[in-house]
Amino acid sequence: MTKIEQARELQTEGFNCSQRTLLVFCDELNINRKEALQIASGFGAGMHHGEVCGAIAGAIMVLGLKYGHSEGTDAAAKEKINNTVRQFNTAFIAKHKTLLCKELVGMDFSIRENMEEARKTGIFKTICAEFVDDAIGILEEIIKEANNNAI
């Protein structure tokens, strides 16, 4: 099963876009599933405010775990994470013109009624699923490219 297929299945289990994006990379990142779900839980629906799309937030978590720095003086690691996040953002914007949830879905989730409407109409299962699919696809390309460059 591909990561995109896994993410679609996770949606049926009630996980948000950020959780699904991060969770499908847990095995290769060697991180605990429960902790990943908890960490990403507050980032769905643009942090429940329509801001940066949760799929993007989850993708940046993946990049941070894969390439991020844990030493404040590690300039090479800082450059690596900065470059990969920029690369991801540029690719996502090229496909969707924005990183903002409320612009992507055309609805501001800081308004409670909009969140309820989105749930009723299935926006999270249709429109948002596309953004998760694309975030995962872009991540896979970035990671593959990085692995090829490391050889």
Q: Domain tally for the chain?
A: 1
Query: What's the whole-number mean pLDDT along residues 44-49?
Result: 90
Report the predicted TM-score, pTM, of the whole model to 2 decimal places. Answer: 0.94
Instruction: Report long-range pairs for 12-16 (Cβ below 8 Å, ≥24 apart).
Output: 16/40, 16/41, 16/43, 16/44, 16/45, 16/54, 16/124
Q: CB count, 10 Å around CB of 29?
A: 14
Compute CA 145 distance to the chain's CA centroid, rounded to the nearest angstrom: 18
Each residue's pLDDT tens digit, 1-45: 999 999 999 988 989 999 999 999 999 999 999 999 999 999 999
Task: Provide the pLDDT for residue 150.
Answer: 72
The rounded distance, in Å, linking the Cα atoms of 64 and 58 is: 10
* CA dist., res. 140 & res. 117, Å (int): 32
Q: What per-residue confidence (pLDDT) applies to 12? A: 87
Q: What is the pLDDT of residues 108-134, one digit of tens each?
A: 988 989 988 988 998 888 899 999 999
For residue range 55-110, list pLDDT tens digits in order: 999 999 999 999 999 999 999 999 999 999 999 999 999 999 999 999 999 999 88
The range of the structural domain enclosing residue 79 comes to 3-150
The model's confidence at residue 151, banded by pLDDT at 50, 70 and 90, is low
**If we measure between CA atoms, which residue out of 92, 96, 113 comes closest to residue 104?**
96
